[in-house]
Amino acid sequence: MSESSTEATAPDPMSNALAGPPLDPPKEPEVPEEHVQDEEKARLVAESRKWEKRAKENAAAAKQLAEIEDAKKSEIERATTKQQRAEAERDEAVAKLLRYEVAAATGIPSTAAHRLQGSSREELEADARELAKLLADKKEAERKETLVDPSAGRGTSAGSSTADQFASMFNK
């Protein structure tokens, strides 16, 4: 029984901590808005530089990996890879030449030949006809625009009536 009485009379250290007035969190010093923006900008620039550095390291590592893989390849594999690259370049050059030939045959300016779409001569020719029609429509609209007389409907300096204009023709 004596144990229970000592337990009841002993003060609880946690109750004293909770019984006191609540503590306010420490206030941060007020910093001008411009200073905050400068710090944020500096932080973002530093982060950007960090990622740029990592990207350069990754590019160097990728190049190194390609060299290692190339070294592991047999002579036949290297020759095959080189041949595949050469064939791809050849196919691209042939397609470009075909676009320019079709453009010249249909009267499309060489500056617009790269706009032609298609994988065969027939597809390129069909696209060239559509493009030529669009270009012709544009030229016709421009021609009609230049045919308009800017003084049409305006009065002349000779007079405002038809009689005055007729008389001015004889007075010259």
pLDDT value at 11 more than 90: no
Q: Of 58-67, 107-116, 118-127, 160-169, where does mean pLDDT reach its minimum?
A: 160-169
- By C-alpha distance, which of 120, 68, 82 is closest to 98? 120
Q: What is the pLDDT of residues 29-66, one digit of tens each?
A: 565 666 667 888 889 999 999 999 999 999 999 999 98
Work out the mean pLDDT of the chain and round it to a whole number. Answer: 78
Mean pLDDT of 94-111: 91
Of residues 69 and 21, the one with the higher pLDDT is 69
Distance of CA 17 to the CA centre of its chain: 61
The answer to whether the beta carbons of residues 110 and 103 sit under 8 Å apart is yes
Cβ-based neighbours of 146, under 8 Å, separated by 6 or more: none
Distance of CA 70 to the CA centre of its chain: 34
pTM above 0.85, yes or no: no
Provide the pLDDT confidence category of residue 22 given band limits of 50, 70 and 90.
low
E-strand spans in 16-140?
none
User: What's the one-letter identity of residue 132?
Assistant: A
Give the per-residue pLDDT at 2.
47
Provide the pLDDT confidence category of residue 23 given band limits of 50, 70 and 90.
low
Give the per-residue pLDDT at 82.
92
33, 34, 35, 38 alpha-carbon torsion, rounded to 10°: 130
Give the per-residue pLDDT at 95.
93
The domains of the chain are located at 91-144
Q: What is the pLDDT of residues 70-101, one digit of tens each?
A: 778 788 888 898 999 999 999 999 999 999 99
Provide the pLDDT confidence category of residue 1 given band limits of 50, 70 and 90.
very low
